[in-house]
A = this chain, B = another copy of it.
Amino acid sequence: MNTQSKAINLADKLATFDDHWQPRTVATFNGHDIMVVKVKGEFVWHHHDDTDDLFLVLSGRIRIELRDRNIELGPGELFVVPRGVEHRPVAVEEAHVMLIEPTGTPNTGDADTAARRQVI
């Protein structure tokens, strides 16, 4: 992938699309996809049996709802949802987020409903 040979500007990548909850892969790292995504509204409750789930907010605010509490994240803040833990990301206003997951991880925790992998 040619993105691997140069600097990757996350804001420039985010400027190339407008849809929500459709992550774009901007680089790969040790078998993982580094992704950016625009989010707004409520995602589905889900979990990943085999991977932790890293969220780093780039702009805006998100709330990661867990079954026992909520995690509020603003720009420059990150949270790792441990594997197996049910969670639901929510954004009242549009927010921009960097995600890291093993390549091929379904974003909904379910291959049937997951967004397709898009490399930009």
Contact = CB atoms under 8 A, between A and B. Distances in A.
Interface of A: 4, 6-11, 26-30, 32, 34, 51-52, 54, 56, 58, 71-73, 76-80, 82, 98, 100, 102
A27 B80 contact: yes
- Chain A binding surface, main DSSP class: strand
B51 A30 contact: yes
B7 A79 contact: yes
A4 B9 CA distance: 27
A57 to B, nearest CB: 9
What copy number does this chain have within its complex? 2
Contacts of A34: 54, 78, 80
Contacts of A58: 76
Contacts of A30: 32, 51-52, 102
Contact of A10 (B52, B72, B78, B102): B78
Given A30-B32, A34-B78, 19 more contacts: A4-B80, A4-B82, A6-B79, A7-B73, A7-B77, A7-B78, A8-B79, A9-B76, A10-B78, A11-B76, A26-B78, A27-B54, A27-B78, A28-B52, A28-B80, A29-B80, A29-B100, A30-B51, A30-B102
